[in-house]
Amino acid sequence: MSMRLLKYAFIEDYAEDNWFNTPSDLKPTYDVVIIGAGGHGLACAHYLSQDHGITNVAVLDSAYIGGGNTGRNTTIIRSNYLTPDGVKFYDQSIKLFKNLSCDLDTNIFFSERGHFTLAHNTSTLRTARWRAEVNKHLGIKSEVINPDEVLRACPEIQIDCGGSQAVEGALYHEPGAVARHDAVAWGYAKSASARGVEIHQHTPVIGINTDSEGVSEVVTPRGVIKTRTVLSAVAGHTPSVSKMVGIKTPIEIFPLQACVTEPIKPWLNTIIVSGSLHMYLSQSSRGELVMGAALDPMELHSRRSTFEFVTGLCDQVLDLFPFLSGVKINRQWAGMADMTPDFAPIMGTTPVKGFFLDSGWGTWGFKATPISGKTMARTIAANSDDPLIRSFNLARFKNFDLVGEKGAAAIGH
C-alpha cells in the first residue's frame, strides 16, 4: 500500500500540490513553444526537460490539458505493425509504457491484455501472417493462431459470427495492452511542470510568423511569443496549424467515433479487433466495454456523434458476442483523426526552419505517446530527425517514399 494514500487518511485536508504549472501570464519569449497539450506535446515537454535540460518551454492548448484526441481514444497499445520501421518504433513505445507509471510517479494503469486481430477470410489471414512474421523476426511476440486458440483465449466469442464471415484465425499479439489515457497526459504534464515547463490552457494559436531565419513568433489572443522553435502536436488540427507557416501536408481530417457501455463486471480480459467487421473492443478497468469502428466516411472538422456509427457497431458486435444484447451503451463521442496516405505519422523537421511536426497520427497515436515525445525531444534538441523517425518525415510523399504500412491497410487499432 502506498505511503501517499496513508497521508490522505491521516492528514486532514491533505491534498497534493497542483500537478500543473499554469502561470497566469505568458512570457514574452520561450526556447520552445509546443502547440497542443495532449499526450504527445506534453511527453515531448517532459523529455525535453528531463533528457535535454530544456525547460524554458511553453505548451499551449486551445482547450484543457488532454482535451483533444488523448482524452478521446480507446487506449489500445500494440506494436504488431507491418514494417520494420513501424515495429521498432512502437516497440520502443511499449518499452517506455512499461515503466511509465514509475517514471511519472503516476499510475497510468498500463495493463497487458493481449491483442487479437481477427481474420475472417484467407486474405486477412495472409496479412496477419505477414505482420506476425515481421514481428517475430524483430523479436516481438506475435503469432497467427487458429479459431480454436481464439476460442480458448476468449470463450465468449461466437466463432461463426452468426453464419457469415466466420473467424478463420487471428493475429495474436501478446504485448497488446491498454492504459488510462488521461493519466498519461496528466502524468507527463505533472513531470514537465515540476521541471518548470509552463502549460497554458485556453490559449489558441492564431498565427505563426517567420522571418529569414525561420520561425520567429507564435501569435495568441493573450499575446505574441518570440521563439525560434515551434512543435505542432495538434492531432485533428494539423493542416490548420501547418498552414500558418505555409506547409501543406497529405493529412486529411476525419472524425473517429467511439462509445462505452455501462460498467459491468470484468469478463473480457483481452483486446479484440476485427477489420472485416469494422470493430474493436476492450474492457476498461472501470468495467465499461470501450468500442470503436471504422473512420467516418467523409472529411469533417467536427466532433459530432452519429447514430449510424453506434447502430452499425452494435450490429457487428452482436455477431461476435451475441449475449451482449441487453448490455447498454451509455455514451458516445468522437475525435478528429489526422489521416495520412500510408497509415504512418508525419514527424520531424520541415522545410521551415524551427518548425517541427508531430502529426499524422490517424488511429495510431495514443500507443506512440511516449516514443513520439522522446524522439521529438531528441529531434528538437539536435535540430535533426532522430533515426527512429527518419522514415516518417514529411518529405517522403514528394518522393513517393511512403511507409509500407499501407501494404496492410485494415482498421488498425
Partner 1 sequence: MKFFEFPLLGLRAISEFVPAHDAILEPINLTDNMSAGDWVYERDSVPKINTEFWFHTTSQIWFKVKRNTGTNQIYSAEVLRE
Partner 2 sequence: MSKRLPPQHDEWIDRKVKIDFWFEGTKISAYKGDVISSAVIANGQRILARSFKYHRRRSTVSMANHDANVILENSMETNIRADVTHPSAGTHYRAVNTFWGLKRDLAQVLNFFSALLPVGFYYKAFYRPKFLFPLWEKLIRSMTGLGKVNSAAPSWRQARKQLFCDVLVIGAGTSGIAAAESLGKTKLKIIIADENDYFGGTLGYRHNNDQSAKKFKDTAIKNLNNFSSVSTFPMHYAAGFYEGGTVPLIGPDGIKEVHTKALIIATGSYEQPAVFRNNDAPGIMLLSAAERLMSRYSVLPCESAVVLAGNTEAYERAINLKNVGLCIVAIIDLSSVPDAHDAEISNARNAGIKVTKIISITEASLHKGELSGITVVTEHNKIENILCDGLLMSVGWSPASSLLVQAGAKLSYLPTLEQVIPVQIPVGTYAAGQVNGIYEFKSKIDDGIAAAYEAAQFLGCDLPVVTRPERGRCAHSHPYPITAHPKGKEFVDFDEDIQLNDLRTSWREGFNSVELMKRYSTIGMGPSQGKTSNMNGVRILAHLNQQTPGAIGTTTPRPFTHPVAIGALAGKRFRKYWRTPMHKCHQKMAANFEENGHWLRPMFYGKGSKQTLIEKEYAAVRTSVGIIDVATLGKVELFGPDCIKLLEYAYTCKFDKLRTDMTRYIFMVDGSGVLIDDGVAARFSDDHFYITTTSSNAHTVVKQLRLFADLSSLNVVIVDRTRQVGALNLAGPLSRKVLSTITDQSLSEADFPYLAIREVRVANVMARVLRVGFVGELAYEIHAPANSVQAIWDALTVAGESLGITPFGVEAQRLLRLEKGHIILGQDTDGMTTPFEVNLGWGVDLSKEQSIGKNALVQLKRQTKRLLVGFECIKIGQSQILECNLIIREGSILGRVTSVAYSPHHKGIIGLAMIDSTAALPEKICIKTSKGNLIDARIVSMPFYDPENLRQSTH
Q: Residues in the site for partner 1, rule: CB under 8 A?
A: 239-240, 243, 248-253, 297-302, 304, 307-308, 341, 397-400
* Residue from 183, 273, 320, 371 in contact with partner 2 (CB under 8 A): 183
Site for partner 2 in 189-228 (CB under 8 A): 201
Q: Which three cell numbers stand for residue 280?
A: 474493436
Q: What is the DSSP letter of 70?
A: G
β-pairing, 57-60 vs 198-200, is parallel
Site for partner 2 in 330-389 (CB under 8 A): 330-333, 341-342
Minimum CB distance to partner 2 smaller for 126 or for 243: 126
- Binding site partner of 245, from partner 1, partner 2, none, Cβ cut-off 5-8 A by kind: none
Which of the ranges 39-47, 119-127, 213-221, 347-355 carries the binding residues for partner 2, by CB under 8 A? 119-127
- Does residue 164 contact residue 132 with C-beta atoms inside 8 Å? no
* Residue from 30, 90, 116, 186 in contact with partner 2 (CB under 8 A): 186
Site for partner 2 in 394-413 (CB under 8 A): 399-400, 402, 404, 406-409
Measured at the CA of 235, the angle between CA 229 and CA 241, to 5 degrees, comes to 50
With binding defined as CB under 8 A, does residue 278 bind partner 2? Answer: no
Residue 99: how many other CB atoms lie within 10 Å: 11
Shortest distance in whole angstroms from residue 330 CB to partner 1 = 22
Rounded to whole angstroms, the Cα distance separating 126 from 68 reads: 35
Amino acid in position 38:
G
* Residue from 28, 51, 137, 211 in contact with partner 2 (CB under 8 A): 137
Shortest distance in whole angstroms from residue 228 CB to partner 2 = 30
Q: Which three cell numbers stand for residue 392?
A: 516518417
- Binding site partner of 364, from partner 2, partner 1, none, Cβ cut-off 5-8 A by kind: none
Q: Which three cell numbers stand for residue 389?
A: 523517425
Site string for partner 2, 7-26 (x = CB under 8 A): -xxx-xxxxxxxxx-x----
- Binding site partner of 363, from partner 2, partner 1, none, Cβ cut-off 5-8 A by kind: none
Minimum CB distance to partner 2 smaller for 260 or for 377: 260
Nearest to 259 by CA among 208, 190, 324: 324
- Does residue 42 contact residue 189 with C-beta atoms inside 8 Å? yes
Q: Which three cell numbers stand for residue 242?
A: 501547418
Shortest distance in whole angstroms from residue 338 CB to partner 2 = 19
Q: What are phi and psi of 50, to 5 degrees?
A: -80, -45
Label residues 342-365 b or e (16+ Cβ within 10 Å = b): bbbbbbbbbebbbbbbbbbbbbbb
Q: Which helix (H) or strand (E) holds 46?
A: helix 39-52
Site for partner 2 in 258-277 (CB under 8 A): 261-267
Strand, helix or coil at 83?
coil
- Binding site partner of 314, from partner 1, partner 2, none, Cβ cut-off 5-8 A by kind: partner 2
- Binding site partner of 240, from partner 1, partner 2, none, Cβ cut-off 5-8 A by kind: partner 1
Minimum CB distance to partner 2 smaller for 39 or for 354: 39
